[in-house]
Amino acid sequence: MNIKELALNLEKNRKLEAGHRSCSGCGFPQIVRAVLASTDKPIVASCATGCLEVTTSIYPFTSWNIPFIHSAFENSAATIAGVESAYNGLKRKGKIKDEIKFVAFGGDGGTYDIGLQSLSGALERGHDFLYVCYDNNAYMNTGIQRSSATPYGASTTTAPAGKKHFGKAQFRKDLVKICAAHNIPYVAQASLSNLMDLTNKAQKAFSITGPKVLLVLQPCTLGWGYPMDKTIELAKMAVETKFWPLYEIENGKYKLNYKPAKDVPIIEFIKMQARFKHLLKPENQQIVDKIQQNINFEWEKLLKLCE
Partner 1 sequence: MTNYKAITGGEAVAEAMRQINPDVAAVYPITPQTIIMQKFADFHADGLVETELVPVESEHSAMSCCVGAAAAGARVMTATCSAGLALMWEMLGVASGLRLPIVMSVANRAISAPLNIHCDHSDTMGSRDHGWIMLFSENGQEAYENMFIAVRLAERKDIMLPVMVNLDGFITSHGVENIDVYNDQVMKKFVGENKPNKPLLDIKHPVSYGPLELPDYLFETKYQQIPSMEAAKKAYLEIGKELSQITKKEYGFFETYKMDDAKAVIVVINSTAGTVKRVIDQLREKGKKVGLLKIVMFRPFPYQEIREALQNAESVAVLDRAASFGANAPLYGEIKNAIYDLKKRPLLYSCLYGLGGRNIFESDIEHLFNQLLNKGLEEVNYIGLRK
Q: How far is CA 58 from the centre of its chain?
A: 22
Q: Select the span of 57-65, 158-166, 195-203, 277-285 touching partner 1 (CB under 8 A).
A: 57-65
Binding to partner 1 by residue 124, rule CB under 8 A? yes
Q: Are 27 and 198 in contact (CB under 8 A)?
A: no
Binding to partner 1 by residue 181, rule CB under 8 A? no
Of the residues 72, 267, 302, 306, which one makes contact with partner 1 according to CB under 8 A: 72
Of the residues 36, 37, 44, 235, which one makes contact with partner 1 according to CB under 8 A: 44
Binding to partner 1 by residue 243, rule CB under 8 A? no
Binding to partner 1 by residue 272, rule CB under 8 A? no
Of the residues 6, 74, 113, 189, which one makes contact with partner 1 according to CB under 8 A: 74
Q: Compute and round to an integer the Cα radius of gyration of the chain.
A: 19
Binding to partner 1 by residue 229, rule CB under 8 A? no
Q: Torsion over CA of 201, 245, 183 and 124, rounded to 10 degrees?
A: -80
Q: Select the span of 76-84, 200-208, 262-270, 280-288 touching partner 1 (CB under 8 A).
A: 76-84
Q: Select the span of 29-37, 55-63, 145-153, 272-280 touching partner 1 (CB under 8 A).
A: 55-63
Number of chain residues interacting with partner 1 (CB under 8 A): 46
The stretches of 93-230 forming alpha helices (DSSP H) are: 108, 116-125, 175-180, 195-207
Q: What are the distances in angstroms from CA 164 to CA 128, 269, 275? A: 48, 24, 16
Of the residues 9, 17, 25, 125, which one makes contact with partner 1 according to CB under 8 A: 125
d(CA 82, CA 236): 36
Binding to partner 1 by residue 143, rule CB under 8 A? no
d(CA 137, CA 147): 7
Nearer to partner 1, 33 or 278 (CB): 33
Nearer to partner 1, 96 or 232 (CB): 96
Q: What are the distances in angstroms from CA 62 to CA 18, 35, 59, 269? A: 10, 18, 7, 35
Q: Are 179 and 123 in contact (CB under 8 A)?
A: yes
Q: Are 248 and 180 in contact (CB under 8 A)?
A: no
Binding to partner 1 by residue 142, rule CB under 8 A? no
Nearer to partner 1, 4 or 92 (CB): 92
- Could you tell me whether strands 247-250 and 253-256 are parallel, antiparallel, or unpaired per DSSP bridges? antiparallel
Q: Which of 35, 39, 105 is nearest to 76 (CA)?
A: 105
The distance of closest approach from Cβ of residue 57 to partner 1 in the complex, given in angstroms and rounded to an integer, is 4
- By CB under 8 A, the residues from 90 to 109 that bind partner 1 are 90, 92-93, 96, 98, 100
Phi first, then psi: give them for residue 214, nearest 5 degrees.
Answer: -125, 120
Query: How would you class 50 by CB atoms within 10 Å of its CB: exposed for 0-12, middle for 13-18, buried for 19 or more?
Result: buried
The distance of closest approach from Cβ of residue 96 to partner 1 in the complex, given in angstroms and rounded to an integer, is 6
Q: Select the span of 50-58, 192-200, 209-217, 223-231 touching partner 1 (CB under 8 A).
A: 50-58
Binding residues for partner 1 (CB under 8 A): 42, 44, 46, 53-54, 57-60, 62, 64-72, 74-75, 78-90, 92-93, 96, 98, 100, 117-118, 120-122, 124-125
